[in-house]
Amino acid sequence: MKLKNISNIKWIGGKHGKEERYIELMSEHKIFVDCFFGSGAVPFYKEVINPAKLTIVNDINDKLMNYMLVLKDNPERLYRECSALPFSEKLYEIYKWEPWPEDEIESAVRFYYMMRVCFAGGGHKYRNGIGLSKSVNKAKQLVGATELIPKMAELIRNWTILCRDFEDVIDFYDTKDTLFFLDPPYHEREDLYAGGFKEEDHKRLKKKLDSIQGKAMVCYYPSDLIDDLYHDWYRTEYSTASQIRVRKDGDKQPMRTELILMNYRPNIQIDFLKKELII
């Protein structure tokens, strides 16, 4: 039975509703490392249905990982303060322009509100305004997301939470029993993210993955650079609705192609496998 969303983190390129596509393609492993945590949809879902012996989550976004640490260490206060937040454009604009709080819990509450209320979610520079809708009750949606906090806190009790460059994390946790899950900023969409990821970083990531003992699953949009870098990996693709573009009334939901790239042959038979690894 498919689970409902477990993570309340709304993020550019988040994998909410698509988690099983990735989990069913994962290799056997004892150590699971998510190097670009983002929405955390996949590791949260995985923790429910197939937890690893050791789970490490990492992201260079310090506000995101502070939220995760507060979620783990002080979920009761986080839940209480987030529950008191209204869905308000005025509050959103105040939070957007006020200096960011130094207190860890206040920072986590601010982060939660901004990424839940902003159009397209967190991960970027909050250049967009509040996300409004004629068909979805956004206030009710915010309440529902807040109600996930206690469950999320329980799931991450045994996780290791890091805020480092991906290369440092890969170097430390690489073993033959490690599966690296990598959902980096998408090529030619880097400006949408905070963190300063550049084209050289895509190349640096692939170079590092070429030297690992463990297995790796990487998520991308198709592009000439990505197709060239990962030409010798197993790959599959699927179409999904894009949440980035603002639609006018009557516009169809824009679609995008998601790539799943693997340095190993998946154990299951799938009809949509596009390329075999070249030996």
> Ramachandran region of residue 13, left (φ > 0), alpha (ψ -120 to 50) or beta?
left
The partner residues of 14 in beta bridges, in order of sequence, read none
Residue 198 domain flag: yes
E strand or H helix at 54, and its extent? strand 54-58
E strand or H helix at 236, and its extent? strand 234-241
Residue 162 domain flag: yes
Per-residue pLDDT tens over the stretch 88-105: 999 999 999 999 999 999
Whether 15 has a binding-site annotation, put simply, is yes
Give the distance, in angstroms, between the CA of residue 151 and the centroid of all CA atoms in the same chain.
Answer: 18
Residue 15 domain flag: no
Distance CA(268)–CA(205), nearest Å, equals 26
Residue 75 domain flag: yes
| Bridging pattern class, strands 54-58 and 160-162 | parallel
SS3 20: helix
Per-residue pLDDT tens over the stretch 6-58: 999 998 767 888 899 999 999 999 999 999 999 999 999 999 999 999 999 99
Residue 278 domain flag: no
Distance CA(18)–CA(27), nearest Å, equals 18
Residue 267 domain flag: no
Report the CATH number that the domain containing residue 45 is assigned in CATH.
1.10.1020.10
Domain limits for position 128: 31-217
What is the band of 2 on the pLDDT scale with cuts at 50, 70, 90?
low
Q: What is the mean pLDDT of residues 170-197?
A: 83
Residue 115 domain flag: yes
Whether 59 has a binding-site annotation, put simply, is yes
Whether 183 has a binding-site annotation, put simply, is yes
> Which residues are CB-contacts of 52 (< 8 A; sequence separation ≥ 6)?
29, 30, 31, 32, 46, 179
Q: What is the pTM of this model?
A: 0.89
- The number of folded domains in the chain is 1
Residue identified by tokens 């130094």 is 102
Per-residue pLDDT tens over the stretch 254-277: 778 899 999 999 986 554 455 444
